[in-house]
Every structure is written in structure tokens, then in C-alpha cells.
Amino acid sequence: MTTNLLDFDLDGLAAFCEQLGQKRFRATQLFRWIHQKGASDFDQMSDLAKALREQLAVAAHVQGPQVVSRHESKDGTIKWLFDVGAGDIIETVFIPETDRGTLCISSQAGCAVGCRFCSTGHQGFSRNLTTGEIIAQLWFAEHFLRKHLGRDERVISNVVMMGMGEPLQNYSQLLLALKVMLDDHGYGLSRRRVTVSTSGVVPMMDRLAADCPVALAVSLHAPNDELRSNLVPLNKKYPIAELLEACTRYQSAAPRDFITFEYCMLDGVNDQAEHARQLVALMKTHGALGLSCKFNLIPFNPFPASGLLRSDMPQVMAFAKILMDAGIVTTVRKTRGDDIDAACGQLAGDVQDRTNVDRRMASQRQGMLGGIKVVVRNKGLA
């Protein structure tokens, strides 16, 4: 059985080449061919010695993901479904903008965190992705887009680990993938332009700060522990005060001078003025301890199993005004790719539900917010 070279960062590839009797500079050449040029055929790698190419043909391969489907939105967003075997499907989304190209990458098939507003969480968890399966999403998308758009230069300038899964619950594989993204012989991305999103796995946040600090986005979604524990079950293990202390520690190593907090706007659940005022008080308390933040308010993308609805835009803007009036930098995320189910919180693919989450959630749905009233109004879900 041959080795998929997408599983290696540069140090790992150098060790592999040493096993073949080759020096490190050969690994650097090979790394560039794979990641910068998108080559998968060793015969294409013209500056490698013929003997090495013959060795590689026997011992290794470069295998990207199997494409199940590709969907293109009217706004230019592209969503791929990739088959990673055993019935598991993952999703990857490219979001083009005038000044950047952002790729949203999955780290797991499914997700174990089970946030109430996330369709991926409702499907349950299947398995962690390998380093090769994580980086293959970038490898495939970058070189597909160059051909698709007729460009020779790099297309993807930003990567966000905001696809399926909780990245920090797949830490070892994530770390190697991040190193490939940042390596100048690989994709050469800036630490400021690679973002890991987490629901708050506190110990791994500290490890990431020490091992490979990149931009950090934290899924907050509530201003108090009672509400957040019902929306983000991980909060029961790592409550808000502990999470914000970890954010403050992370900021000292982060490439940006702020931590981004993501806040999904849920109609009648977490979008009231009182919730905004609680957030202001919370951030002032931790700001005094050194935490600097930015809030990203995310319009909820409804799906039937959630029992939740999107906040009206006037309500979102009123909420944002309270934060901004208190001096908190606040943006409202523009929904992209919702016509192809590629918007935030919609990534579910066709991964099998191996945890019976639908059955369990159905039995809990009447009171799934633990006494918090869910206001259901007669309006469309779009």
C-alpha cells in the first residue's frame, strides 16, 4: 500500500524522503510540485532525478478527494461534496470577493458538539479527517479554480476552518494541515489569513497558541451560561468565564490584535436588547483584563429539524447598534451561497447519522431550549 503525500507537512515529507535515501532539498522540490503546482503525476516533476521519480511511483501517490458534486451559487460561491469513504461525505465552500478568495474547510465528517442551530451537528459525528483529507480540500480547490477561472496566480488567499466539525477536537491532524497552509514552499498563507473557528475547546486553544497561532474565531452565541449551555452543549464543560480567559491568553500569541466572536442570531432566543446589554457587560469585564474583540453577527440559516428561526434584519441591526454604541467593533455577516445550502450552519452533506441524533432530538424538541421560549412567527424561512 502506497503513502499519500498529502498527509505530510514539509518535515514529514523530508523524513519520508530520507527513508528513500534522499536529501531534504528533494522533499522541498517535491512539496512545491504538489502544493504550488498541483502535480499528482511524478513524471511531471521534471527537476526530480529519474531514480527518485521511479522510487516515488512505487512507494507513494498524491490522491485528492473524490468529487461527488459541485454546485455554483448565483453569487459565485462554489460548494463541493467530497466522498471520504465508508459513506462519509464532507463539504468545502469557496467564497469569492473582490479583494480575496476564501475557502471554508471541513475538519471532521459530522460533528460531536451538537450546537442546536447547526445542521452539521444534527447529523451526528462519524470520524476525524486525516491531515491529507483536510489539506486535500485546499489542494483540489486551489488548482481547480486556477483552471476554472483561467488564472496562473493564487486564487485562495484566505482559509477558514469553519466547515463541518470542531477543528480543535481533531487537533493533531489540524496542526499538520495548518503548517502546510503556512509553509512558503506550500501555500504561503499569512497567519492572519488562516482562521480556526472553535466552539470553545479551552485546552486545545492554549495548545494552538503555543504550537501554531493563527487567527481565532470563537462561536459564542449567548451572553450567559444558561442560554449558551442550551445552544452550545460544550459550554457545560468550558463555561463562558473560562472560555474568555482562554481567549485573553490566546490573544497574546495571535497574529491579530483581537479575537472574533461569532454570534448566530436566533429569533426570540438570543437576539433581544437585554442579551446585547449582557454581552456589553461581559466584554467590558474581560476587556479590563486585556481581551480585545470583534463581533460577527450571523443571520441564522434555518433548517426544519432545528425548530428555530432567523432574526428579522431590523432586530439584528438594533442588536448591533447596542454593541457598537458601547465601542465594540461589530459586523453583520453577509449570507453567501444559501441557494446551494453553502451558507453558515448549513453544511450537512449526506453523512450518515450514526448517533441516532434525529431520534434523540425529536424527543427533546418540545423543550430543547430548556425553558427558553422559542418564538415562532408566521414568516418564511428564507
Architecture category of domain 3-61 in CATH: Orthogonal Bundle (1.10)
Which residues of the chain have a pLDDT value below 50?
342, 344-347, 349-382
For residue 93, what pLDDT is reported? 97
* Catalytic sites, residue numbers: 91, 344
Whether the CB-CB separation of 193 and 157 falls below 8 Å is answered with: yes
Closest CA to 214 of 105, 124, 372: 105
For residue 305, what pLDDT is reported? 86
Residue-wise pLDDT tens digits, 101-141: 999 999 999 999 999 999 888 889 999 999 999 999 999 99
For residue 146, what pLDDT is reported? 97
Specify the domain boundaries for CATH 1.10.150.530 within the chain: 3-61
How many beta carbons lie within 10 A of that of residue 219, not counting itself? Answer: 26
Class for domain 66-367, per CATH? alpha beta
Whether the CB-CB separation of 235 and 278 falls below 8 Å is answered with: no
C-alpha cell at 208: 494552538
For residue 340, what pLDDT is reported? 56
Residue-wise pLDDT tens digits, 3-20: 999 999 999 999 999 999
Three-state SS at 96: strand
Beta-sheet pairing, 125-128 with 108-110: antiparallel
For residue 253, what pLDDT is reported? 96
Specify the domain boundaries for CATH 3.20.20.70 within the chain: 66-367
Whether the CB-CB separation of 269 and 377 falls below 8 Å is answered with: no
